C-alpha cells in the first residue's frame, strides 16, 4: 500500500484510510476484526474513528462502540505502534431522549444538541477516547463538527494543551468552512498553538450541485485553498457516496446522491463507467483510484465498509494504473 505525507509533518500514512464508524454496531466484531487484520496485513496503517460512533445504531447508546472495538483489537494484535490512530471529539449528542423522541434518530435535533468544542468538553472527551482505545495517545485528534458557539481561542488552547500533555500528536478539523479554517490557522500562528495538519471533509469524484450550501462537502474554494496550503492533507470521507457509482438504481432517490444531482454528475458518471471498463475495475474502485492519483491537493480516501465483502471490493483501487489520457478525460468531464 502506498503512503502519503500528512501535511508537512514528515509522517507517512496509508493513502487509503480505514473508517471504523460502524464497527461494533452494524458490523459484528468478528467481521470487523477480520477487516482490521487484513488491512494491517496489506500494509494499511491509518485508522479513523470518533467518540460518538455509533450512537444512532442503537437506542440507549452514547457512542464509543467503535473505539472500544479498536481498543480490543489493538490489545489483541499488539499493533498499536504500527497504526496511525485518529479519533474525534465534539459531536456526542447531549440530549439523546429528545433525539429519539419519535422512535427514530432525529438528526435535526442531534445537530442542535452536540456537546461542542469547549475546553472542558474536549479535555474530558480525549480522556474517554483514550480509555476506550486502550492507549495513552492518539496520533490525530479532530474537532469533529465545527462549533461556532465556542470561541476558537478556547478550543485551540485546549487542543494545544492536549498535544502538550502527549495525549495527541497532531490535530485536525472536520465539517468546516474555508474561512473558518483560515481563522483557525491565523490564531494558531499568532499564539504558537499547533495548527491542523488534516482536514476531513466529504469529497468524491462528483461535484456538488450549483447553489448548494454545505459546510461538509468540499467546494472549488476549499480545493483552491488546499492547493496553496500543502501543510494540510485532505482526508476524504464518503469517497464513493454509499456505493452509488456501481449501482444506477441506487442513485435514484438515494440521499447520498442528492447534493450532486444534475447534468454535470450525469456527464461525469458516464466517463467513470467508460474508464472503469477500460481498466477492468468497478466504477467505485476507479473513483478511489482517481482520488489517490490527485497530488494538488494530496487526498487520502477514507473508506467505511460495512462488510468484509465491501472492504475487499475496494482493494483493486490500489493497483489501478491510469494513463495521462484517462486522467485528462476524467478531469475534463462535465455537462
pLDDT tens digits, one per residue of 299-311: 999 999 999 999 9
State residue 335's pLDDT score: 80
Q: In angstroms, rounded to a whole number, what is the distance separating the alpha carbons of residues 35 and 199?
A: 25
Taking all residues of the chain, what is their mean pLDDT, rounded to a whole number?
Answer: 97
Q: In angstroms, rounded to a whole number, what is the distance separating the alpha carbons of residues 61 and 88?
A: 17
Give the CA distances from residue 159 to residues 116, 131, 193, 239, in Å, rounded to whole numbers and listed in that order.
Answer: 13, 18, 8, 28
The cell for 266 is 450525469
Q: What is the pLDDT of residues 48-95, one digit of tens each?
A: 999 999 999 999 999 999 999 999 999 999 999 999 999 999 999 999
pLDDT mean over 321-335: 96
- Which residue shows C-alpha cell 492533507? 233
State residue 322's pLDDT score: 98
State residue 236's pLDDT score: 98
pLDDT mean over 225-246: 97
**Is residue 31 within 8 Å of residue 68, measured between CB atoms?**
no
**Is residue 266 within 8 Å of residue 335, measured between CB atoms?**
yes
Whole-prediction pTM: 0.97
State residue 152's pLDDT score: 98
Q: What is the pLDDT of residues 98-115, one digit of tens each?
A: 999 999 999 999 999 999
Q: In angstroms, rounded to a whole number, what is the distance separating the alpha carbons of residues 46 and 83?
A: 6
Task: Look at residue 34 and tell me whether its pLDDT is greater than 90.
Answer: yes
Superfamily of 3-332 according to CATH: NADP-dependent oxidoreductase domain (3.20.20.100)
**252 — pLDDT class (breaks 50, 70, 90):** confident
Q: What does the DSSP 8-state code read for residue 300?
A: E
Amino acid at each position: 500500500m502506498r503512503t502519503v505525507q500528512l501535511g508537512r509533518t514528515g509522517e507517512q500514512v496509508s493513502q487509503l484510510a480505514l473508517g471504523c464508524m460502524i464497527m461494533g454496531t452494524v458490523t459484528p466484531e468478528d467481521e470487523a476484526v477480520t477487516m482490521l487484520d487484513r488491512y494491517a496485513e496489506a500494509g494499511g496503517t491509518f485508522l479513523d474513528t470518533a467518540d460518538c460512533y455509533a450512537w444512532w445504531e442503537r437506542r440507549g447508546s452514547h457512542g464509543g462502540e467503535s473505539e472500544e472495538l479498536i481498543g480490543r483489537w489493538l490489545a489483541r494484535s499488539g499493533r498499536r505502534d504500527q497504526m496511525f490512530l485518529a479519533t474525534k471529539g465534539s459531536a456526542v449528542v447531549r440530549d439523546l431522549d429528545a433525539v429519539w423522541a419519535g422512535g427514530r434518530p432525529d438528526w435535526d435535533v442531534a445537530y442542535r444538541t452536540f456537546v461542542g468544542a469547549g475546553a472542558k468538553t474536549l479535555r474530558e472527551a480525549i480522556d474517554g477516547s483514550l480509555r476506550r482505545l486502550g492507549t495513552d495517545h492518539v496520533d490525530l485528534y479532530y474537532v469533529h463538527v465545527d462549533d461556532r458557539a465556542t470561541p476558537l481561542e478556547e478550543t485551540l488552547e485546549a487542543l494545544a494543551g492536549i498535544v502538550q500533555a502527549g495525549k495527541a500528536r497532531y490535530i485536525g478539523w472536520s465539517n468546516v468552512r474555508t474561512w473558518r479554517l483560515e481563522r483557525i490557522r491565523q490564531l494558531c500562528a499568532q499564539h504558537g498553538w499547533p495548527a491542523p495538519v488534516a482536514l476531513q471533509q466529504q469529497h468524491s469524484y462528483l461535484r456538488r450541485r450549483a447553489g448548494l450550501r454545505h459546510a461538509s462537502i468540499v467546494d472549488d474554494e476549499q480545493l483552491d485553498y488546499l492547493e496553496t496550503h500543502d501543510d494540510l492533507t485532505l482526508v476524504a470521507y464518503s469517497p464513493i457516496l454509499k456505493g452509488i457509482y456501481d449501482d444506477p438504481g441506487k442513485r435514484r432517490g438515494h440521499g447520498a446522491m442528492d447534493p450532486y444531482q444534475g447534468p454535470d454528475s450525469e456527464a461525469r458518471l458516464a466517463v467513470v463507467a467508460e474508464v472503469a471498463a477500460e481498466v477492468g475495475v468497478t466504477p467505485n474502485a476507479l473513483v478511489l483510484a482517481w482520488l489517490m492519483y490527485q497530488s494538488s491537493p494530496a487526498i487520502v480516501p477514507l473508506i467505511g465498509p460495512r462488510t468484509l465483502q465491501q472492504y475487499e471490493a475496494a482493494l483493486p483501487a490500489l493497483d489501478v494504473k491510469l494513463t495521462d489520457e484517462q486522467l485528462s478525460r476524467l478531469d475534463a468531464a462535465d455537462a
